[in-house]
């Protein structure tokens, strides 16, 4: 998890960098008052199917936590980062994700509502060795600081 918070254009938003640092996933216009999954914070490692946030219509306001968009939706973007200097430059490479999103919608993770909360959780965990290693490294680095 690389970015989490308010942006005057995107409203409540989340930015996630892939473990290899080559892809940046951007989610914007999240829900007012409760935009993110509980306990989500910058530096967390998330995997496909994790519930990270909730659709809303925040944004287009310098004032934080404002709904200034008429339709609830998710703004999703994918940036390819081949060189770190591209990340915040005029040479950014953004991908149109519409076809990818249609494919992923057919293969999404099953989720369930956590009783008595506003939270949703994934039913089946995905175990990937590289994610487990990154989680262990993250925990080790944060315990020593």
Domain CATH number, residue 133: 2.70.70
- Name, in order, each residue with C-beta under 8 angstroms of 14's C-beta and a sequence gap of 6 or more: 1, 3, 4, 26, 27, 28, 30, 36, 40, 52, 53
Total of domains in the chain = 1
Percent of the chain at pLDDT > 70 equals 98
Residue 4's CB: how many other CB atoms inside 10 A? 19
> What torsion, rounded to 10 degrees, do the Cα atoms 134, 136, 140, 142 define?
60
Would you call 122 exposed, middle or buried from its count of C-beta atoms within 10 A (0-12, 13-18, 19+)?
middle
> pLDDT-derived band of residue 129, with 50, 70 and 90 as boundaries?
confident
Structural domain range at position 19: 3-144
Percent of the chain at pLDDT > 90 equals 59
How does pLDDT run across 95-117, given as a tens digit for each residue?
888 888 888 888 788 899 999 99
> pLDDT-derived band of residue 145, with 50, 70 and 90 as boundaries?
low
How does pLDDT run across 75-90, given as a tens digit for each residue?
999 999 988 887 777 8
How does pLDDT run across 29-41, given as a tens digit for each residue?
999 999 999 999 9
CA angle 99, 105, 109 (to 5 degrees): 145
> pLDDT-derived band of residue 24, with 50, 70 and 90 as boundaries?
very high
Please choose, from the candidates 138, 120, 132, the residue with its C-alpha nearest in 3D space to the C-alpha of residue 49: 120
Highest mean pLDDT among 42-51, 54-63, 114-123: 54-63
d(CA 48, CA 8): 27
């Amino acid at each position: 998890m690389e970015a989490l918070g308010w942006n005057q254009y995107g409203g409540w938003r989340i930015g996630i960098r892939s473990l290899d640092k080559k892809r940046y996933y951007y989610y914007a216009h999240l829900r007012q008052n409760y935009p993110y999954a509980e306990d989500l914070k910058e530096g967390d490692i998330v995997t496909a199917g994790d519930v990270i946030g909730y659709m809303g219509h925040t944004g287009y306001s310098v004032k934080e936590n404002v709904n200034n968009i008429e339709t609830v939706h998710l703004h999703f973007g994918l940036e390819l980062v081949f060189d770190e200097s591209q990340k915040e430059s005029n040479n950014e490479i953004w991908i149109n994700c519409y076809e990818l999103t249609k494919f992923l919608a057919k293969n999404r993770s099953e989720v369930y509502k956590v009783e008595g909360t506003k939270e949703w959780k994934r039913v089946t965990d995905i175990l990937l060795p590289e994610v487990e290693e990154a989680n262990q490294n993250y925990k080790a680095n944060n315990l020593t600081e």
